[in-house]
Structure 1
């Protein structure tokens, strides 16, 4: 399970770097090249959306079937372990949502850039 979260973490970091590159001001030729390269990468990297959705379903299922640790029946170590698992689940939910949100932002920035280019070409004619 840890490998899946590590992969998702690296994908979110890569998406953040790509989003940063897309929003940096750059000369028109360089910006067009960057956008075209990232547009080629967008469709194969679409796997991140269903992957994140599957991870969210896994978190939900584990949350529904988790043993509750409350009251006097739990020791301090069990309570700490329970709270740690809750915090990890919350962190992973944020990771899944940020992966989807960053993918959508990158997609929209590329789409807007292409629309602006097409409008500029129409204006030149």
Structure 2
């Protein structure tokens, strides 16, 4: 179980780095190359969406079937273990949601950049006529 969360955390870190690179101001030539590279990486990274969705479903199923440790029935160690599992589940939900959100942000920024580039080309052609 830990390997899939480690992979997802590395993907989120890579997406965060890509989002920072795509949104930072840069000269036009460098910016267009960065956006082109990010656009190429978007298609293989698209697999993170179903993967994160499956992980969210898994977390939901586990939370529905988790033994509840409440009241005086549980020992201190059982209560600590229960609380740790809740915190891990919350952390993993945040990880899955941030993976999807970062992917969407990178996708939209790349799409906006392409639309702006196309509009500039149209404006340039209209000025030449």
Q: Aligned residue for 2:63?
A: 63
TM-score (normalizing by structure 2): 0.96
2:52 and 2:115 map into 1 onto residues whose CA distance is 29
Count of equivalent residues: 125
Residue 37 (structure 1) shift = 1.1
Q: Tell me how large the CA RMSD over aligned residues is.
A: 0.5
1:103-118 equivalences under 5 Å are: 103-118=103-118
Q: Which runs of 5+ in 2 are unaligned?
A: none
Q: Which runs of 5+ in 1 are unaligned?
A: none
Q: Aligned residue for 1:35?
A: 35
Q: Deviations over 1:25-78 (max 9, x none)?
A: 111111111111111110111000000000000000100111111111100000
1:34 and 1:74 map into 2 onto residues whose CA distance is 54
TM-score (normalizing by structure 1): 0.99
